[in-house]
């Protein structure tokens, strides 16, 4: 596990970056915009926003967009320092189930996740709190039985 010394100011700053990402969302069908910002250990920030499609299946959530962008740029899984997600919801937004599975795979178990809303409310969690008893990569490893 990594050591994540994150200040409250850094958390709020990343939520503000998630809000910028949220404004970039393409949501002509639901008009429900979500933004995500992902901070790596080097201090780089990767934006993600939800991108809808008329066929719905190809739609991609903000969280996955941020992760896929970071990995496409060469960042290694489980080397992130912080994830922030924001949406226009009454309570701090919660990731969908598919995003929770991606988060479990690509974040370290102890990486802080900040969930916020436009009213300034936020809460901190981790991937394992979001998806307890998750299906993890180690479940695919087979022991040598010979």
Rounded to an integer, what distance in angstroms lies between the CA atom of residue 124 and that of residue 44? 20
Residue 146 CB neighbours (<10 A):
3
Note if 63 is an active site residue. yes
54 class by beta-carbon count within 10 Å (0-12 exposed, 13-18 middle, 19+ buried): exposed
| Phi and psi angles of residue 38, each rounded to the nearest 5 degrees, phi first | -125, 125
- Which residue in 10, 23, 63, 129 is the catalytic one? 63
Looking up tokens 């479940």 gives 139
Under a CB-based contact definition with an 8 Å cutoff, are residues 80 and 39 in contact? yes
Q: Looking at the annotation, which residues are catalytic?
A: 63
């Amino acid at each position: 596990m990594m050591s994540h010394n994150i200040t409250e100011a850094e958390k709020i700053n990343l939520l503000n970056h998630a809000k910028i990402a949220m404004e970039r969302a393409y949501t002509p069908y639901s008009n429900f915009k979500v933004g995500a910002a992902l901070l790596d250990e080097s201090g780089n920030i990767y934006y993600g926003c939800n991108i809808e499609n008329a066929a719905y299946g190809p739609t991609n959530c903000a969280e996955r967009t941020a992760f896929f962008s970071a990995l496409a740029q060469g960042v290694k899984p489980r080397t992130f320092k912080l994830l922030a997600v924001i949406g226009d919801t009454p309570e701090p937004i919660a990731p969908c189930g598919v995003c929770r599975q991606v988060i479990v795979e690509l974040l370290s178990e102890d990486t802080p996740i900040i969930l916020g809303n436009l009213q300034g409310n936020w809460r901190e969690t981790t991937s394992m709190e979001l998806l307890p008893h998750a299906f993890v990569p180690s479940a695919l490893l087979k022991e040598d039985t010979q």
